[in-house]
Amino acid sequence: MVESTTHMNYPALLAALQNHANPERAVPMRAYMKNQFAFLGIPKTQLMRVCRPFFKGAANAPTDWDFVQQCWASPYRELQYCALEYLKAVKQNLTPSDIPRLQALITDKSWWDSSDILDLIVGNIALRHPEVNAVLLEWSVSDNIWLRRVAIDHQLLRKQQTDTALLAQILCNNFGQTEFFINKAIGWALRDYSKTNPEWVRQFIDAHRHEMAKLSLREGSKYV
C-alpha cells in the first residue's frame, strides 16, 4: 500500500517500475515508437496497476510539479506515462497558471503518445477557464507541430460543450500543412465532433473541401 502524501515519491515509483522491467518486451515497444525512447518493457495495463496507487489522494494535495519534472527527465518512456497519469488524476486542480509548464511538456520528448493525453489535460483547463482559448489560438499557428496538434485536438470528447467558432478558426489556421500529425489531428477533431453534430461537420467540410488535405477529409468525413 502506498501512503498518500503531499509530495509524490519518485524514487519509490522508479524502484517499483524497475521491479517489473522486461528488457525483451522493451525492444518491440521501442520500435513501435520509432526508437525515439528507451523503455523498461512494461505494458500499459501493468504500468497503470503499478503507478496508480502512488496517486491515491493526489487531487487533495498541491500539484507536485517537481515529481512531473523528474518523470519527464527519465530516459524511460514509462515514467512520462506515469507523469501524464498523475496529471490526469489532478487535472481539476490545474489552472491557467499551469499552462506554461504543460507547454514545456508538450515541446519536450514530443510524440503522439504524450500529445494525445496532454491535449485533453489542456482542454480541461480551457473548458473551465475560457481565457486559455487565446493561448490555444497562438499555439494553432506555432512553429512547433505538437503545440498545433494540441490546439487542434484539445476539444476532443467535449460533445455539446464544443466551441465551434474556436474549432473552426483553429482548423482553418492549419490548412495547407504537409505534416501528417497535423492533418491527422484535423480529421480526428472533425470525426469526433461529427458524432455530436454531423450537420455542422458536413457543412464545414463542404465549405473547406478544397483547402483540406485528403487525409483530413477521409478521417473527418467518416461518420457524415
Is the predicted pLDDT of residue 20 greater than 80, yes or no? yes
Provide the pLDDT for residue 7: 79
H-state helical runs in 98-177 = 99-106, 112-128, 133-139, 145-153, 164-172
- If you classify domain 1-93 with CATH, what class do you get? mainly alpha
Reading the block at residue 195, the C-alpha cell is: 458524432
Task: Output the pLDDT for position 137.
Answer: 98
Fold of 99-224: Leucine-rich Repeat Variant (1.25.10)
Domain residue spans in the chain? Answer: 1-93, 99-224
134-141 long-range CB contacts below 8 Å, 24 or more apart?
Answer: 135/96, 135/99, 136/166, 136/170, 137/166, 137/169, 137/170, 137/173, 139/103, 140/169, 140/170, 140/173, 140/174, 141/173
Q: Give pLDDT, residue 45.
A: 97
Q: What's the predicted TM-score (pTM) here? A: 0.94
Q: What is the pLDDT of residue 4?
A: 37
Mean pLDDT, to the nearest integer, of 108-126?
Answer: 98
Question: Averaged over 4-16, what is the pLDDT?
Answer: 83
Q: Model confidence over 84-105: pLDDT tens digits?
A: 999 999 999 999 999 999 999 9
Give the model's pLDDT for residue 5: 43
Same fold, 1-93 and 99-224: yes
Q: Is 47 helix (H, G, I), strand (E, B) or coil?
A: helix
